[in-house]
Amino acid sequence: MAGRLVLVATPIGNLGDLSPRAVEALSEADVVACEDTRRTGKLLAHAGVSAPRLLVVNEHTEVAGAAEIAGLVAGGNTVVLVTDAGTPAVSDPGAKVVKAVLGAGGDVEAVPGPSAALSALVVSGLPTGRFCFEGFLPKKGRHRSDRIEEFSQEARTMVLFEAPHRLARTLGDLASALGDDRAVAIVREQTKLHEEIWRGTLADAVATAESTEPRGEYVLVVAGCPDPAPPSESQIRTALNERLADGLSRRDAAAAVAADLGVSRRAVYQMSLAD
C-alpha cells in the first residue's frame, strides 16, 4: 500500500475543536511528526489514541525531518504531521516536509481545521474578500522596515502574528507607516479561557498596548489602504492646462490627462472645449 503524508490541523486552544477526521487520521498513523512530543502526547491522550512513533520536526530539525519523512512515505508509511497548534506549514514547520514528499513522488493530504489567522480575520469586522497573511514580521533591521513600508501600499486586509513582548513596538511601527487612524483588530488567546478581541484605530491600539501588559498569543488584523479619492474638477483642469501649455492638441492633452488621473478621456476633452 502506498504511503502518504497527512497534514492535520489541531486546536489552537480549545481541545473541543479537534475534529473526528483529525482523530481518525491520528489513529491510523504509523508515525506522527510533531514539534513537541509532550504536547502532542497530551493531545493523543485526549483523543484516546495510542501513541505511535513520534518524530520531532521543529524549526531546527525540519530539513533533516523532511528527508526522513519523505523516505518513510516512500516506504509505504502513513505519516501525520501536526504542530503545537493550528494548521501545519502556516508560520510553523511543514512546508519543507511537503516539498520533500512531493519531490519524492509521494502523496500529500490535509485534514483542515483550526487556523488562528482565519479565525481572527472573520471576527475582525474588516473586509474578508481579499486579504494577505504576513505571519511574523522580521524582528529588526532593514528587512523589518522594508516589509512595513510595503504595507502602506497594500489594499488588502493584512493578518499578522506577534509575540506579546513585541506587540507595542509593532503597533507603533504600523501606526507610523499606515497612519494613526487605520483600523485594526487585535485578537488574543483565541478559543482559550482569556480570549479577547479588541477593535479600534492603530493610535488607540498603541495606547492600549503601552498601558496594559500584553500576555498570550496575538493576531493583528489591519485594514488595507483606502482607495484614493477621485481627482477633483480643479485638479483635472490644472493638469489639462499644463498639457495644453506644453503644446499638445486638445485630443492628445485629454488622452494624457485621462491616462495620468484615471478619468474619462471624453470628459476631459469636453472640458477642454468648454474653456
Which CATH number belongs to the domain containing residue 66 in this structure? 3.40.1010.10
Same domain, 158 and 69: no
Residue 127 buriedness (CB in 10 A; 0-12 / 13-18 / 19+): middle
**Residue at grid coordinates 477526521:** 21
Same domain, 210 and 140: yes
Same domain, 107 and 121: no
**What's residue 156's pLDDT?**
97
- What is the spatial distance between Cα 31 and Cα 54, in angstroms, rounded to a whole number? 6
pLDDT in tens, the chain (275 residues): 579 999 999 999 999 999 999 999 999 999 999 999 999 999 999 999 998 899 999 999 999 999 999 999 999 999 999 999 999 999 999 999 999 999 999 999 999 999 999 999 999 999 999 999 999 999 999 999 999 999 999 999 999 999 999 999 999 999 999 999 999 999 999 999 999 999 999 999 999 999 998 899 999 999 999 877 788 889 998 998 999 999 999 999 999 999 998 899 999 988 888 86
- What is the spatial distance between Cα 215 and Cα 165, in angstroms, rounded to a whole number? 8
> In this structure, how many other beta carbons lie within 10 angstroms of the beta carbon of residue 59?
9
Residue 227: inside a domain, yes or no? no
Amino acid (one-letter) located at 274? A
Q: How many domains does the chain divide into?
A: 3
Residue 102: inside a domain, yes or no? yes
Residue 182: inside a domain, yes or no? yes
Strands (E), the chain: 4-8, 31-34, 53-56, 78-81, 107-111, 131-136, 157-162, 183-188, 196-201, 218-222
Identify the domain boundary among 63, 80, 114: 114
How, if at all, do strands 157-162 and 218-222 pair?
antiparallel
Residue 157 buriedness (CB in 10 A; 0-12 / 13-18 / 19+): buried
The angle at the Cα of 268, spanning 265 to 272, to the nearest 5 degrees, equals 135
Give 223-263 pLDDT, tens digit per residue.
Answer: 999 877 788 889 998 998 999 999 999 999 999 999 998 89
Q: Which three cell numbers stand for residue 125?
A: 469586522
- What is the spatial distance between Cα 170 and Cα 162, in angstroms, rounded to a whole number? 8
Angle, helices 141-151/167-178, rounded to nearest 10 degrees:
50
**What's residue 81's pLDDT?**
98
Same domain, 57 and 155: no
Same domain, 206 and 237: no
**What's residue 272's pLDDT?**
87
Same domain, 168 and 189: yes
Identify the domain boundary among 57, 84, 114: 114
Residue 67: inside a domain, yes or no? yes
* Cβ 214 vs Cβ 205: under 8 Å: no
**What's residue 269's pLDDT?**
87
Same domain, 16 and 102: yes
**What's residue 275's pLDDT?**
67
**What's residue 211's pLDDT?**
93
**What's residue 118's pLDDT?**
96
Q: What is the CATH number of the domain that holds 180?
A: 3.30.950.10
Residue 140: inside a domain, yes or no? yes
Report pTM: 0.81
Range of the domain at 164: 117-222
* Best CA proximity match to 175, nearest among 236, 20, 167, 196: 167
Residue 228: inside a domain, yes or no? no
- What is the spatial distance between Cα 222 and Cα 177, in angstroms, rounded to a whole number? 12
